[in-house]
Amino acid sequence: MARYGLYEIAKRLNDVGSINVLVPSYHCDAIVKPFEKAGVKVKFYKIDKNCNTDFVDLAKKIDMDTKAVVMIHYFGFPNEIEKYVSICKKKNVLLIEDCVQSMFSSYKGKRVGLFGDVSFVSWRKFLPLEEGASFRHNGFLMNNQSRLDIKNWLKAVKNTVENVFSKDVSIKPLSSGKVDIDRSASELVPAFFNKKPTGLTERIFRKYDIRSVVIKRRNNYAYLMEALKNSKIVLPFQKLIEGVCPSAFPLIVKEDNVDVKLRAKGISACQWRYLSPDLSRKEFKDAYFLMEHLVFLPVHEGLNMHELNHIIEEVKKLVR
C-alpha cells in the first residue's frame, strides 16, 4: 500500500532534519499517519470546495522549519503543477507528488510523478493486485536500494524508484458477505515493510494491458459525465482533459450517506470520512464540506454498460 512508500519517504525527510511538512486539508487518513510515525510534524493548507488549492494559504504556511509540501492529484486529474513547483523552488522546500489516484495520468505529455522531488503510487488503485507501492525520487534526497522496471510509469523513472510491498489488511470479510473497512488499518504494520512481491503480482504487473485500462477508464468517466452533467449534481471536474486516467468519478451532493445507499445497491461508491483531528473546522470549512458531500463512483475497466447505466439510475434516484 502507498502508505508504506510514503513512510519510507517520511523517514528520509526526517533523516535530513525535517521539522514539518504541509499536507492538503482534504485528504484520506493514510497520508498523515506515515509522517507522524516517522516523527515529522504535519501542517495543513487549504483546499476549496472544488478541490482547488489555495496557493496564498500554502505560501503563507511555509516557514523556516518546513521541508516539504505534499501535492495530491485528485481522482487522476493533475493538480496545478506549475504553481506548486514555482512556490516550492522559491521557498526552497521539496515537492512530494501523491500519485496514488493518478498512476497512469500525464500532464503536457509528461507522466505525473516526474515534476516533484519525490512521488509515490499505489498499484492496487488501478490494477487487480492486493499489494505493492512504489516511490520515486530525484537522487539527492535518498539512496536508491532497489529497482523494478514495471510498465510505463516505472520505465520513465527506472533509475530512481524504490518499491514497497505490503498486503492489504484494510478490508475484512463479514459473515453477511459484505465487507467492513477497518480504520485501524491506516496504522503501519511493521511486518509489511519491504516485503517482496509475490510471483503472481509480478506476472500480473508485467502482462497487464495498461493502455486498455486508460482507454476504458476515460470512456467510463465520459459516459457518466455526459449522463449526470445536467442534473442537480455538482461535478468538480467537468472536463476530461488529455492525459487524465481517472481513478474515480467524483460528484458533490447535498444528501447525506449517498455512498452508503449506493453500496446497498451494489455500487462501490465511497467517501473520505476522515480528516485529521488537528484540522480546525472553522479554518478548513471547505475540507469538511468535501468530507461530508463529495462522493466518488467507480470508473474501473471492469464495468460494462449495464453496470454504468445502473450507477446513473441509482444516483439520479438519490439526488433530487
Measured over the CA atoms of residue 67, residue 168, residue 184 and residue 126, the dihedral's sign is positive
Q: How far apart are CA 65 and CA 41, in angstroms?
A: 10
In this predicted structure, what is the pLDDT of residue 195? 55
Per-residue pLDDT of the chain (320 residues; tens, 9 = 90+): 556 667 777 777 765 555 799 999 999 878 888 888 888 899 999 999 999 999 999 999 999 989 899 999 999 999 999 999 999 999 999 999 998 899 889 999 888 888 988 888 777 777 776 666 666 766 534 333 333 233 333 443 333 333 333 333 232 322 333 323 233 334 433 433 455 666 766 677 677 788 888 999 999 999 999 999 877 788 999 899 999 999 999 999 988 899 999 999 999 999 988 888 889 999 999 999 999 999 999 999 999 999 999 999 999 999 87
Q: How far apart are CA 120 and CA 102, in angstroms?
A: 10
Residue 96 DSSP SS3: strand
In this predicted structure, what is the pLDDT of residue 145? 32
Residue 179's DSSP bridge partners are 173
User: Between helices 305-318 and 210-228, what is the axis angle to 10°?
Assistant: 40
Give the domains, in start order, of the chain with CATH numbers: 2-207 (3.40.640.10), 210-318 (3.90.1150.10)
Strands (DSSP E) contained in 138-289 are 161-167, 171-173, 179-181, 249-252
In this predicted structure, what is the pLDDT of residue 197? 60
In this predicted structure, what is the pLDDT of residue 209? 81
**CB 31 within 8 Å of CB 98:** yes
In this predicted structure, what is the pLDDT of residue 30? 81
**Those residues with Cβ within 8 angstroms of residue 311's Cβ, 6 or more apart along the chain or in another chain:** 224, 262, 267, 297, 298, 303
In this predicted structure, what is the pLDDT of residue 253? 92
**Those residues with Cβ within 8 angstroms of residue 132's Cβ, 6 or more apart along the chain or in another chain:** 1, 122, 123, 124, 163, 164, 165, 166, 197, 201, 205
In this predicted structure, what is the pLDDT of residue 105? 92
**CB 271 within 8 Å of CB 296:** yes
